[in-house]
Amino acid sequence: MKIKTVNLRKVFRVGPSEIVAINNVNLKINEAEFIAIVGPSGSGKTTLLNLIGLNDYPTSGKIFIDKIDTSLLSGRERRKIRLFHMGFVFQTFNLLPTLNALENVELPMALAGKPPEKQREKAVRLLEKVGLKHRLYHRPKELSTGEMQRVAIARALANDPEVIIADEPTGELDSKTAKEIINLLSDINKEHKTTVIIATHNEKIVKVADITYTIRDGKIEITS
């Protein structure tokens, strides 16, 4: 899946004032790339990921996914792209607290209409892959932060997405666990040829990334 942004701009209105979060961003992300987006807090990283992940609408500019102009897509079509072609990993994991690890991973497959036995089989496989075979029936509150992030990564992989969008996935983790998560994402990128786009402060991610973009005051530039 190729992603391209053209003159992307996002402005938030707070009372009478305007905050330009993303200012004329032009990006080109190719298949199987590992992209890191770095920048200080409030620089617009999360906003950019939300726009690329079709979770938000730009004020102006366009986002093309495989040459499809996403501004022409309906909300339903955008949801379908998110469900079938993208996987999301959040800084705060965003696991559903009432579901156990297995069920959290099954959820995107259930929403995609996969048969229950296949959901179960694949969810077990993915959790094994992220090293959580022994935590299948544990609910998020019974897991450590590193384990929760692994479950979130397994969930992101559930529908074999072409892109994984991760917003500061190591932000809440200690350095050892963060390293494990980075390696996991890197392996996924290499094994499955999945595009990985990560917003991060973590230098180690920058090191494994194919391309690093730096975002500052809503403007973006390639730094490595």
Residues lying near other proteins in the complex (CB under 8 A) are found at 41-42, 46-47, 50, 53, 55-56, 75-76, 79-84, 86, 88, 90, 92, 94-99, 102-103, 106-108, 110-111, 116, 119, 155, 167
* Residue 188: CB minimum distance to other proteins, A: 17
CB of 207 to other proteins, least distance (A): 25
Identify which of residues 68 and 96 has a Cβ nearer to other proteins in the complex: 96
Closer to other proteins by Cβ: residue 35 or 95: 95
Q: Which is nearer to other proteins, 125 or 207 (CB)?
A: 125
Shortest distance (Å) from residue 111 CB to other proteins: 5
Q: Report, in Å, the least distance between residue 10 CB and other proteins.
A: 10
In the complex, minimum distance from the CB of residue 71 to other proteins, in angstroms, rounded to a whole number: 16
- Residue 42 or 207: the one with the smaller Cβ distance to other proteins is 42
**What string of DSSP letters covers 110-172?**
HHTT--HHHHHHHHHHHHHHTT-GGGTT--GGGS-HHHHHHHHHHHHHTT--SEEEEESTTTT
Based on CB atoms, which residue is closest to other proteins, 66 or 224? Answer: 66
